[in-house]
């Protein structure tokens, strides 16, 4: 029983860490895209 619970806990921790890493990367990617879009808008308005 304890071994089975340990397996479940380790699998849960692995899934949790992978999900956390994905969310972090997604957040950084979105933030980078927002900065890029803002920078493009600034360049666009500078031309006017």
The model's pLDDT over 1-48, given as tens digits with 9 standing for 90+, comes to 567 888 899 999 999 999 999 999 999 999 999 999 999 999 888 876
Residue 33: what pLDDT? 92
Pairwise CA distance, residues 27 & 32, whole Å:
9
pTM, full prediction: 0.57
Query: How many degrees, rounded to 5, is the angle at CA 25 between CA 23 and CA 26?
Result: 65
Residue 16: what pLDDT? 97
Residue 6: what pLDDT? 86
CA torsion 4-6-10-13 (nearest 10°) is 110
Residue 13: what pLDDT? 96
Q: Where are the domains of the chain?
A: 20-48
């Amino acid at each position: 029983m304890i071994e089975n619970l340990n397996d479940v806990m380790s699998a849960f921790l692995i899934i949790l860490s992978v999900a956390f890493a994905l969310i972090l990367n997604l957040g950084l990617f979105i933030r980078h895209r927002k900065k890029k879009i803002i920078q493009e808008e600034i360049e666009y308005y500078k031309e006017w």
